[in-house]
């Protein structure tokens, strides 16, 4: 057999490998039998590739809800989680808006997931088993914000750490000089400020009741009189 013909045979046989109808990978290998000198083809059926845990969780979370239902659910969870962890709910919503624009199925090219765009490693540390579950995602994100607020007293550094990581903020001692992080802090900070301005002003306390005026005088006989007109 000529080398050219041998190469054609190999190419033809290898081309028969690929995905089967049931999504299993069929891999074809070709070898030369030493005894007969003939080509021997072997097929190996491999199990389908198992998708990452995050992808499975996302598929399981693909529940169709109306925008109104989603907004109501998000608001309730944010208020409850923010109160439990001592985080301003307006800050949580501002982060959420910039991170995902309130999309529970958002997935960034870097792998950040859900409403608050939790990275897989961060989600695991926070005890989040399904980052595409609305409740778990928000509670995990709020818990992470609380953790960062305990590390950094300035909200700008909290936001910078949320975006670039705690280590980057500690390394630079301020907002890291990354264009993405600088813009992120600005955008979230602006939305947070706007939300505060829209918040209804607290009602003024009722005016204190005026105390009666006490008048004291001494008459011609030297007696002291005290009256309240």
DSSP string, the chain: --HHHHHHHHHHHHTT-EE-TTS-EEEEEEEE-TTT--EEEEEEEEPPPPPPHHHHHHHHT-----HHHHHHHHHHHHHHHHHHHT--HHHHHHHHHHHHSS-TT-B-TT--BTTTTB-HHHHHHTT-S-TTSHHHHHHHHHHHHHHHHHH-SSHHHHHHHHHH-HHHHHHHTSS-S-HHHHHHHHHHHHHHHHHHHHSPPPPPPPPPPPPPPPEEEE-TTS-EEEE--
pTM summary value: 0.65
Using alpha carbons, select from 119, 36, 130, 134 the residue that is nearest to residue 81.
134
* Percentage of the chain lying above the pLDDT 70 cut: 63
79 is annotated as an active-site residue:
no
Which architecture, in CATH terms, is 53-198? Orthogonal Bundle (1.10)
Task: Assign 6 a pLDDT band (cuts: 50, 70, 90).
Answer: very low
Q: Decide if pLDDT at 219 tops 90.
A: no
Q: Decide if pLDDT at 9 tops 50.
A: no
Sequence ranges of the domains in the chain: 3-46, 53-198
Average pLDDT rounded to a whole number, residues 80-87: 97
| Marked catalytic residue, from 99, 166, 194, 221 | 99
For the stretch 54-73, pLDDT in tens is 554 555 455 567 888 999 99
For the stretch 107-139, pLDDT in tens is 999 999 999 999 999 999 999 999 999 999 999
* Percentage of the chain lying above the pLDDT 90 cut: 55
At 21 the pLDDT is 38
Task: Assign 3 a pLDDT band (cuts: 50, 70, 90).
Answer: very low
């Amino acid at each position: 057999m000529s080398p050219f013909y041998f190469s054609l045979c190999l190419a033809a046989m290898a081309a028969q490998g690929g995905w089967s109808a049931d999504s299993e990978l069929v891999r074809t290998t070709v070898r030369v039998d030493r005894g007969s000198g003939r080509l021997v083809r072997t097929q190996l059926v491999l199990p389908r590739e198992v998708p990452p845990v995050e992808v499975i969780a996302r598929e399981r979370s693909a529940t169709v809800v109306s925008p109104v239902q989603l907004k109501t659910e998000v608001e309730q969870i944010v208020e409850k989680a923010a109160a439990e962890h001592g985080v301003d709910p307006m800050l949580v919503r501002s982060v959420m808006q910039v991170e995902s624009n309130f999309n529970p199925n958002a997935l960034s090219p870097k792998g950040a997931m859900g409403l608050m765009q939790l990275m897989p490693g961060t989600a695991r540390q926070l005890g989040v088993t399904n980052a595409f579950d609305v409740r778990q995602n928000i509670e995990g994100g709020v818990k992470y914000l609380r953790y960062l607020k305990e590390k950094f007293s300035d909200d700008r550094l909290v936001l910078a750490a949320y975006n670039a990581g705690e280590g980057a903020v500690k390394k630079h001692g301020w907002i890291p000089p990354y264009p993405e992080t600088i813009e992120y802090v600005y955008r979230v900070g602006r939305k947070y400020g706007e939300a505060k301005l829209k918040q209804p002003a607290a009602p003024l306390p009722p005016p204190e009741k005026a105390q009666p005026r006490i008048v004291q005088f001494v008459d011609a006989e030297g007696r002291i009189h005290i009256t309240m007109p």
